[in-house]
Amino acid sequence: MKFNYKAIWIGCSLPLFLCSCEEDIPEMVELPVPNSIAVDTDAGDWQHVMEVDYLSEISLSAPDDVDSDAYRAELGLLAAIIEKMNPEQEKRASYWASGGVLRWNQICRELVAKYNIALPPGAIPDVKKPVANPPFAARAYAMLSVAQHDALIAAWKLKYTVGRPAPSLTDSRIDALFGSTELPSYPSEQSVIAATSIKILTTLFPLETDFLYRLAEEQVNTVRCGGTGTESDIEAGWVLGDFVASKILERASSDRMSRASDPEGTYISFFKIDPSTVPVAWISLANPKVLPILPMYGNIKTWHDSLAVFSALPPPPPNVGTTAFNTDITNVKSISKNRSREQWRIAEFWADGGGTYTPPGHWNEIAEELLVEAQWSEVRTARAFSLMNRAIMDSGVLCWYAKYKYYFPRPSQIDLEIKTSTGIPNFPSYTSGHSSFSSAAGTVLGYLFPDQKEELQRQFIEAGDSRIFGGIHYGFDNVEGRNSGIAVGKLAISEGRNDGADN
């Protein structure tokens, strides 16, 4: 589907209750419109994730001078739009003014929740209707965040190269809905965000294409209604965002995710299970039997240097029957028989099972709360999500590699008396995905929000403990998953300290 720049914008709006093509997506949480935002004038010099010089590879027409007749005509059109704006348009403009990056992250989370449903027995995976399990979700959040991050850095570079002032600073007829800004208008950052977001998300969730394009069109229309950009600002933003997203998708096409589900079961020979280190191997406890979840996910391409990521590979777990093993399984069994009310609460709060955002999405929601309070620019917000989500994904890759390298049994496989408080995930036990995802995310967020570091550490420790309280992980699953997640989080922090953003 091609975006229509000439779409009818007078009276164009969507209801607050958003509907997709198959099932309803819940109403998005209301967010405040920031009072003031630092514009990060140097963001165009920040480091991209991808080693691509986007602006040298893309062909954009030189924008008209602000004193030209063509640009004056654009300003006149914008003034006419604002004059005829109705209350519903103002409401929708307010929705997007709370943050385009934040809004698309919410939309991605809701789509993950919608598609986070296991395939029925015997069903063949369908790329048009993916199963948004935690590894899939981690990759989706990372792809979206990187596309937004790189596109906005390129947009900031172009903004301050061209130097076109905001329309309200050029034409007295234009009263920006949410106040004037010092941020140059060419290209429109909201158009950039819309273009990158729908290109990534329609690739991941192709059945939602019509729904996502309606949202993107609405976001672009609110640039007009809000008085923040003209048609040439919007078009340049769209072309740039679309181009950057195409580069992210090009990378994704060869990251080996297409082979992660491994329906032929080649993971068994690939990992070469050694009976001397895995005397009691994991077996699926799913009934009826289904394929394990993405056994080759541990072999997909990481965002950070793979040697650095895999230097944090956890050591072998204690063998079944050893003192260390017996101590941990005894603890799990004791908890399963005598769960306190608080342990039940924690296990349920962090369960993040079917129909939810998944554990990676849970941490995106935690990040959203911090980012709303911080009131950062779009480009700095995108950087935060990019740093965190790449760490989450890479920690998941490392975790999944460990799961199928060590092939360790779940506690309830060894002791049938252990009663779980939640469903038993259909993949090996060691290490804990929750602990890996959460510690990576919490470590990065602790760097970005140092005043919240202790609370974030408490949360990621609790997230790991929740799986012990639920009866589906051992203590050593949790501890080693946490250690590897922290190590990957520190890789992201090292990058953040050198990317030019001066956090």
How far is CA 122 from each of CA 119, 248, 263, rounded to the nearest angstrom? 8, 33, 11
Specify the DSSP element, H or E, that contains 233: helix 231-252
pTM of this prediction? Answer: 0.93
CB 454 within 8 A of CB 503: no
User: Which is more confident, 274 or 323?
Assistant: 323
Cα 46-394-407 angle, rounded to 5 deg: 175
Percent above pLDDT 70 for the chain: 91
pLDDT at 2: 46
pLDDT (tens digit per residue) in 418-448: 999 988 999 999 999 999 999 999 999 999 9
Beta strands in 164-268 (DSSP E): none
CB 90 within 8 A of CB 12: no
Instruction: For the chain, give the mean pLDDT.
Output: 91
pLDDT (tens digit per residue) in 12-58: 333 333 434 445 555 667 788 887 678 899 999 999 999 999 999 99
pLDDT (tens digit per residue) in 203-232: 999 999 999 999 999 999 999 999 999 999
pLDDT (tens digit per residue) in 58-116: 988 889 999 999 999 999 999 999 999 888 888 888 899 999 999 999 999 999 999 99
User: Domains in the chain, ordered, with CATH?
Assistant: 68-252 (1.10.606.20), 274-496 (1.10.606.20)
What sign has the CA pseudo-torsion 180, 186, 191, 196? negative
pLDDT (tens digit per residue) in 405-425: 999 999 999 999 999 998 899
What sign has the CA pseudo-torsion 360, 99, 50, 237? positive
Angle between helices 433-448 and 378-406 (to 10 degrees): 150
Average pLDDT rounded to a whole number, residues 307-333 = 96
Average pLDDT rounded to a whole number, residues 263-271 = 71
Amino acid identity of residue 209, one-letter, is T
CA distance 479 to 438: 12
Q: Can you read off the two tokens belonging to residue 105?
A: 């992250």
Q: How far, in whole angstroms, is CA 360 from its chain's centroid? A: 7
Q: Which of 406, 468, 397 is nearest to 437 (CA)?
A: 397
pLDDT at 26: 54
